[in-house]
């Protein structure tokens, strides 16, 4: 099937995978900076943005979405890309790294790191957001034209919703309400979680915003299924969509994560500003012992 994407920049290929109910536009704030170092391929997952849904006979699980992206990469002749994914896109990135060689994987608030089924809190939050966007889209579009309105509507997703441009906020509401793949993709995650990722050999970095109100620490951040040697990074003052809350920090994080992989012949990344502390997660048997990477500063506490 055809998957829509945008491509910019030069260097090693970097594939960006967006959250549920969104599109490749979720990465707009950081694509220009990333394109200075990478051949950036921002993807619309099947059923989102300009990409058609998977055939009705195929359940759009994260693994099936990953298989569709793998087919697109094969068609483009892209071998061993870097991957970066947010929320559902992070889960899809893990599944993609399980089925084909990749250079590195950066997971930003990845979904799927729960112990059993998807937490009820996550399912209800996502379903309610979808219902409101679908049935009250015009009203929400008017509300988010104002800073207080964006704070009200996007307060669960963003630590600093007032920073979101009004036009981008209206587009996000429209995408959430009209994405044909949303309901089936949400249903397909209900009784699944990330499993078997220990087989991934590429360097993996995982990061959660300190103000992520979607994936709660005690419910959705169990790191034991990620590969041994996974690095944990902190995103201070950021919410569930950190590339909107702090584009510069997320850009640096992706560059730093990608730099852990052996460079392709003739290509070199310009190092990001160094992180002040660096540690690896313990093996999966002791995920609670992991220590975070921290950078000085962070997202401002107030708008």
pLDDT tens figures, 15-63: 999 999 999 999 999 999 999 999 999 999 999 999 999 999 999 999 9
Interval 68-127: pLDDT, tens = 999 999 999 999 999 999 999 999 999 999 999 999 999 999 999 999 899 999 999 999
Q: How far apart are CA 223 and CA 52, in angstroms?
A: 32
Is the pLDDT confidence value at 294 over 50?
A: no
Q: Quick one: pLDDT band at residue 269, thresholds 50, 70, 90?
A: low
Q: How far apart are CA 148 and CA 125, in angstroms?
A: 20
Is the pLDDT confidence value at 142 over 70?
A: yes
Average pLDDT over residues 121-150: 96
Average pLDDT over residues 268-278: 49
Q: Quick one: pLDDT band at residue 262, thresholds 50, 70, 90?
A: confident
Q: How far apart are CA 257 and CA 160, in angstroms?
A: 25
Is the pLDDT confidence value at 264 over 70?
A: no
Instruction: Check residue 284 and give its pLDDT.
Output: 32
Chain centre distance of CA 40: 15
Instruction: Check residue 225 and give its pLDDT.
Output: 87
Interval 153-200: pLDDT, tens = 999 999 999 999 999 999 999 999 999 999 999 999 999 999 999 999
Residue 217: Cβ-neighbour burial (10 angstroms; 0-12, 13-18, 19+): exposed
**Percent of the chain at pLDDT above 90?**
81
Instruction: Check residue 2 and give its pLDDT.
Output: 86
CA separation, residue 80 to residues 57, 73, 187, 217, 261 (Å): 29, 9, 30, 32, 11
> In whole numbers, what is the pLDDT of the chain averaged over residues?
88
Residues in the chain: 303
Nearest CA to 112 among 132, 99, 93? 93
Average pLDDT over residues 253-262: 94
Q: Where are the alpha helices (DSSP H) in the chain?
A: 31-34, 62-76, 88-99, 120-135, 137-143, 147-154, 166-178, 182-189, 217-220, 242-245, 247-258
Full-model pTM = 0.87
Secondary structure (3-state) at 115: coil
SS3 content of the chain, % helix, strand, coil (to 5): 40, 15, 50
Average pLDDT over residues 62-68: 98
Nearest CA to 184 among 65, 61, 64, 94? 61
Is the pLDDT confidence value at 265 over 90?
A: no
Is the pLDDT confidence value at 137 over 90?
A: yes
């Amino acid at each position: 099937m055809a998957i829509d994407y945008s491509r910019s920049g030069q260097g090693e290929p970097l594939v960006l995978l967006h959250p549920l109910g969104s599109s490749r536009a979720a990465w707009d704030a950081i694509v220009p900076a990333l394109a200075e170092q990478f051949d950036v391929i921002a993807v619309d997952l099947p059923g989102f943005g300009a990409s058609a849904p998977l055939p009705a006979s195929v359940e759009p699980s994260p693994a099936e979405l990953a298989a569709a992206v793998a087919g697109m990469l094969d068609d483009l002749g892209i071998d061993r890309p870097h991957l970066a994914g947010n929320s559902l896109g992070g889960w899809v990135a893990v599944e993609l790294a399980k089925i084909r060689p990749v250079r590195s994987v950066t997971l930003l608030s990845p979904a799927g790191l729960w112990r059993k089924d998807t937490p009820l809190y996550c399912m209800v939050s996502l379903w309610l957001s979808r219902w409101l966007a679908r049935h009250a889209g015009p009203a929400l579009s008017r509300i988010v034209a104002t800073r207080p309105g964006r704070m009200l509507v996007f307060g669960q997703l963003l630590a600093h919703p007032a920073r979101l441009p009004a036009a981008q906020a209206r587009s996000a509401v429209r995408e959430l309400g009209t994405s044909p793949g949303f309901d089936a993709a949400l249903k397909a995650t209900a009784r699944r979680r990330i499993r078997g990722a220990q087989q991934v050999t590429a360097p993996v970095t995982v990061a959660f915003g300190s103000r992520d109100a979607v994936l709660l620490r005690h419910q959705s951040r169990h790191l034991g299924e990620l590969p041994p040697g996974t690095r944990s990074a902190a995103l201070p003052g950021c919410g569930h969509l950190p590339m909107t809350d702090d584009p510069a920090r997320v850009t640096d994080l992706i560059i730093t994560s990608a730099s852990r992989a052996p460079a392709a012949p003739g290509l070199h990344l310009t190092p990001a500003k160094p992180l002040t502390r660096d540690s690896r997660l313990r093996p999966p048997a002791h995920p609670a012992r992991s220590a975070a990477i921290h950078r000085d500063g962070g997202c401002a506490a107030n708008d």
